[in-house]
């Protein structure tokens, strides 16, 4: 095993942990499985992450940091706010459908695990603050592009929108029907426009 700075090694382990958690589930993530996945010895894992909880905290943080909804790709049309919203949500949903289900499942597993683990609970909160924050800034941009202000507070809209998308993902995981989910998504888009007050 090559000699690299702990910082780098740490990142490698986090990536290995992510693969394991995604493939086998958070419940089956053990230090051994992670070490094996990373092709490293158990000793060095323990050297890098003194405890399993610290590894999981880093994994969750990594998942949080990575979250960047692919909204910005679509240029905001100043004239048609509704179309911009629809396009943004559409490209987001494409990402969800294309990413294998296991990634989404892992996120819920991580969240519930964090809720059950005293030391990780703040991260669960941070996770959702990050998500709604991303949606919020997207909405702010979209509104700015069409020189409007929202009727409902943007904070509220972003949280409700996040909630709807979150629930839609769960339903999609339980019954992966692309047609149905896209139909539901369009209604969510309409409803979002309505909240913004069009």
Partner DNA sequence: AAAAAAGTGAGTTGGTTGACCAACTTGTTG
Partner DNA sequence: CAACAAGTTGGTCAACCAACTCACTTTTTT
Residue in the structure block whose two tokens are 């409700």: 160
Interface region with a copy of itself, contact rule CB under 8 A, candidates 57-65, 92-100, 105-113, 140-148: 105-113
CB of 16 to DNA, least distance (A): 13
Among 11, 15, 19, 31, binds DNA (CB under 7 A): 31
Q: How far apart are CA 33 and CA 29, in angstroms?
A: 6
**Angstrom distance (rounded) from CA 123 to CA 132:** 14
Q: Is 117 helix (H, G, I), strand (E, B) or coil?
A: coil
If contact means CB under 5 to 8 A according to the sort of partner, which of DNA, a copy of itself, none does residue 40 touch?
DNA
> What are the distances in angstroms from CA 64 to CA 47, 157, 191?
24, 21, 27
82 counts as binding DNA under rule CB under 7 A: no
Should residue 16 be labelled a site residue for a copy of itself when binding is judged by CB under 8 A?
no
Distance (Å, whole) CA 188 – CA 81: 14
**50 interacts with a copy of itself by CB under 8 A:** no
Task: Look at the alpha carbons of 20, 24, 27, 31 in this order and tell me if their dihedral is positive or negative.
Answer: negative
Cα separation, 64 vs 128, in Å, equals 9
The entry of a copy of itself, DNA, none near residue 168 (CB within 5 to 8 angstroms by kind) is: a copy of itself
Site for a copy of itself contains 160 (CB under 8 A)? yes
Where on the chain is the footprint of a copy of itself (CB under 8 A)? 25, 27, 101, 105, 108-109, 111-113, 115-116, 124-125, 127-129, 132, 152, 156-157, 159-160, 162-168, 170-171, 173-175, 180, 183-184, 187-188, 190-191, 194-195
């Amino acid at each position: 095993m090559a000699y690299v700075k702990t910082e780098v090694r740490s990142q490698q382990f986090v990536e290995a942990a992510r693969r394991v958690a995604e493939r086998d589930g958070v419940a089956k993530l053990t230090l051994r499985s992670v070490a094996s996945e990373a092709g490293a010895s158990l000793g060095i894992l323990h050297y890098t992450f003194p405890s399993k909880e610290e590894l999981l905290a880093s994994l969750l943080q990594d998942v949080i940091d990575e979250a960047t909804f692919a909204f910005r790709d679509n240029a905001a049309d100043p004239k048609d706010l509704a179309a911009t919203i629809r396009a943004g949500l559409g490209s987001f949903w494409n990402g969800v459908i294309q990413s294998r289900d296991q990634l989404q499942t892992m996120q819920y597993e991580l969240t519930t695990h964090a809720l059950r683990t005293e030391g990780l609970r703040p991260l669960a909160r941070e996770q959702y603050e990050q998500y709604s924050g991303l949606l919020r800034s997207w909405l702010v941009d979209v509104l700015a592009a069409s020189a409007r202000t929202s009727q409902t507070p943007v904070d509220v809209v972003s949280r409700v929108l996040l909630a709807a998308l979150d629930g839609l993902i769960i339903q999609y995981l339980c019954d992966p029907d692309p047609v149905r989910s896209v139909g539901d998504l369009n209604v969510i888009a309409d409803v979002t426009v309505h909240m913004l007050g069009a």
